[in-house]
């Protein structure tokens, strides 16, 4: 079923049949003869099913229906009725044809046929010229409306695609943020809990302090999860560097930070903060490192960070965390490079200054 046949009843073929009685208007001042009346009734009887069936048919069937309707009008031209009514219906039907040049050519052809028949029969110009003008107006009007309808459908389809992609992007963002937040939080909880268990007997006060730290980490993790779900995850770079120092210290890894954080704009720092979080979490969980160095770099156009450890670089495998990190940096116009450096791994991220 074509797009036209699915439109509302008001936009369908039936309302336009109200124009058909105009065919008989000349009979009010000049009665038709018996032959003209019979042929007119027969022409209308043939026109109705052809028009109604051809209106919602495919392009080829519509062309055939329009030709038949045009021929009906031409055949009735000598018998006194307003015969140009039928070519006008034919012009309306061909206005739906695609591609557009086919519709334009068909409308102009119908207008030419009306002119040729009127001239050939010696009819007054005033008798057939309005039919030419109305056929062109109706055909091109239908053509314009169909073009507008198609553009509207394309726009709606584009908007639906945008909504679908936005939903997908939001789900991917939540997955990345939750991966980063939950991974860091659970890693710290496990480290602190293990340390508390070791200190429980020899140093109860230290064990209590560690368990309080576990509680604080859990509360912070809960707030981070809420931020991730609301789309506000990703704190300042300064806060993340401080948290990373504490996490590395808890894991028994010597941490050092070089570079001036004041040289990195807040917008770029927010993007790099998530990179630092994921990279440091990977160092703690997988590297088996004794030390980790975080280097801040900046120039006129970009800001960057390098996280270098002395752990098991050869055992490095990229997982969901670094994949999400690449996607986040790419969305901000940045880059991520991961490579073995010495015995360990170097994670280097760069992002343009002014990144969203």
Q: In whole angstroms, what is the distance from residue 244 CA to residue 353 CA?
A: 23
C-alpha closest to that of 346 among 281, 292, 296, 271: 292
| Domain at 236-356, CATH class | alpha beta
pLDDT tens, residue order, the chain (356 aa):
444 445 444 456 777 788 888 888 888 888 888 888 899 899 999 998 998 888 777 888 888 989 999 999 999 999 888 889 999 999 988 888 888 888 889 999 999 999 999 999 988 888 889 888 988 888 888 888 877 878 888 888 888 888 887 777 767 666 666 666 666 666 667 676 776 667 666 777 776 676 777 667 666 666 666 665 555 555 578 888 888 888 888 888 898 998 888 888 888 888 888 888 888 888 888 788 889 999 998 888 889 999 999 887 655 566 666 777 788 888 888 889 888 887 788 899 999 886 55
Distances (CA, A) of 111 to 78, 108, 130: 18, 5, 10
SS3 303: strand
The verdict on pTM exceeding 0.75 is: no
Question: Which tokens go with 315?
Answer: 């055992």
Kindly list the domain boundaries of the chain, sorted by start residue: 4-161, 236-356
Q: Tell me phi and psi for residue 294, to 5 degrees.
A: -110, 120
Question: Is residue 338 a contact partner of residue 347, using CB atoms and an 8 Å limit?
Answer: yes
Characterise 108 by phi-psi region: left (phi > 0), alpha (psi -120 to 50), beta (else). Answer: alpha
SS3 144: helix
Question: Is residue 89 a contact partner of residue 130, using CB atoms and an 8 Å limit?
Answer: no
Task: Please calculate the CA angle 272-275-276 and round it to the nearest 5 degrees.
Answer: 90
Distances (CA, A) of 75 to 34, 68, 346: 16, 10, 87
């Amino acid at each position: 079923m074509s797009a036209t046949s699915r439109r509302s009843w008001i936009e369908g073929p039936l309302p336009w049949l109200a124009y058909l009685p105009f065919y008989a208007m000349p009979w009010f001042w000049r009665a038709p003869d018996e032959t003209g009346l019979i042929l007119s009734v027969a022409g209308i009887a043939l026109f109705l099913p052809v028009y109604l069936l051809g209106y919602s048919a495919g392009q080829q069937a519509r062309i055939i229906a329009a030709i038949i309707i045009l021929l009906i009008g031409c055949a009735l031209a000598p018998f006194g009725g307003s015969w140009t009514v039928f070519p006008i219906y034919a012009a309306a039907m061909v206005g739906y044809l695609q591609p557009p040049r086919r519709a334009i050519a068909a409308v102009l052809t119908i207008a030419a046929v009306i002119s040729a028949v009127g001239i050939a029969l010696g009819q007054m110009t005033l008798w057939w010229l309005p039919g030419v003008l109305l056929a062109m107006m109706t055909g091109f009007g239908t053509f314009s409306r169909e073009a507008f309808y198609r553009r509207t459908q394309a726009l709606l389809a584009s908007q639906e695609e945008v909504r679908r992609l936005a939903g997908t992007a939001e789900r991917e963002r939540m997955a990345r943020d939750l991966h980063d937040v939950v991974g860091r939080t659970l890693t710290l909880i496990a480290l602190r809990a293990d340390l508390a268990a070791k200190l429980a007997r020899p140093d109860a006060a230290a064990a209590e302090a560690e368990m309080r730290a576990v509680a604080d980490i859990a509360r912070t993790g809960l707030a981070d999860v809420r931020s991730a779900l609301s789309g506000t995850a990703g704190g300042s770079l300064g806060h993340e560097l401080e948290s990373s120092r504490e996490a590395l210290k808890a894991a028994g890894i010597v941490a050092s930070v070089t570079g001036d954080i004041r040289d990195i704009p807040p917008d770029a720092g927010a993007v790099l903060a998530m990179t630092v979080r994921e990279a440091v979490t990977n160092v703690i969980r997988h590297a088996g490192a004794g030390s980790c160095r975080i280097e801040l770099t900046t120039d006129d156009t970009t800001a960057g960070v390098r996280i270098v450890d002395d752990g098991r670089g050869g055992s490095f495998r990229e997982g969901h965390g670094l994949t999400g990190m690449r996607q986040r940096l790419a969305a901000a116009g940045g880059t991520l490079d991961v490579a073995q450096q010495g015995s360990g791994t170097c994670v280097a991220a760069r992002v343009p200054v002014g990144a969203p």
